[in-house]
Amino acid sequence: MASPQTLFRLDGRVAVITGGAGLLGYQHAATIAGLGGLPVLLDVNQAGLAANAARLAEETGYQALTLLADITDLEALDAAGAQLLERHGRVDILINNAARNPKVESAGDKDFSRLEHFPWEQWRLDLDVGLGGAFNCAKVFGAEMARRGHGVIVNIASDLGVIAPDQRLYRVDGREDDQQPVKPVTYSVVKHGLIGLTKYLATYWCEQGVRCNALSPGGVYAGQNDVFVSKLTQLIPLGRMAEADEYRGAIAFLCSDASSYMNGANLVIDGGRSTW
């Protein structure tokens, strides 16, 4: 029987992290590297990739492979997969972390975020990246894991994949109700959809040894204004948002053999918000 310390080790395992140029993308990569794994950062943002790779090298000593690819472009992903296999010869973990998070902001006297005014083009772009991109990455990297008979997929959902947005968080004083900004509908649809995709993939490749689970984080401190933070923290039993590194333990668990009997589940870590 493996010891608890051994269960969490990822020695030699190759992990593709989409949205690798982002805030949580870095945290996921640092977690993988810290457990002996080999994180691969994939993003369309070349400057962000370089910055996160440099930070990872400085803080962990690991020189990560970076893949510049648009996850909505299947040909580009196939090329990235070929580059990955040429470098490492395998893929063991896929973390579908990439997503668009449309800002809640005003545009003239009609707020674009409201459902009545939300552009069709914005709907398609948000779903193409957040949900379609995860689907494409599963096709490319998940299929390779299934071919090898072992692997783990982790889809990064959200507490807003479990509950609806509380639109009171975004209200602006002095504006009419029908002009108030709201959390765009696409964010909820994408995150709910990722949980559905998780269940589908968990049963689709189970006989090939590929597990799939979702992680639903709550809000993370990332320079939000004080008014928003104050409103949100009042909705969280722990009375605060998460620090960026507080999901490292969950990623370690979901990506490792510590969760070997977990499949098709959604791990909610939101400070208790969804319990109220």
Q: What is the pLDDT of residues 221-242, one digit of tens each?
A: 999 999 999 999 999 999 999 9
- Look up residue 245 and give its two tokens: 């590194």
202-228 mean pLDDT: 97
Q: What is the pLDDT of residues 90-145, one digit of tens each?
A: 999 999 999 997 666 544 445 789 999 999 999 999 999 999 999 999 999 999 99
**Which residues are CB-contacts of 274 (< 8 A; sequence separation ≥ 6)?**
159, 162, 163, 268
Task: Give domain limits for the chain.
Answer: 4-104+131-163+185-220+244-268
Give domain 4-104+131-163+185-220+244-268's CATH architecture.
3-Layer(aba) Sandwich (3.40)
**Which residues are CB-contacts of 222 (< 8 A; sequence separation ≥ 6)?**
23, 244
Nearest CA among 265, 220, 260 for reference residue 244: 220
188: three-class secondary structure by DSSP: helix
Q: What is residue 14's predicted lDDT score, i.e. its pLDDT? A: 98
Q: What is the pTM of this model?
A: 0.95
Could you give the C-alpha distances from 207 to 51, 145, 202, 203, 224, in angstroms and in order?
39, 12, 10, 8, 44
Quickly count: other Cβ atoms within 10 Å of residue 168's Cβ: 10
Helices first, then strands: H and E counts in the chain: 10, 7
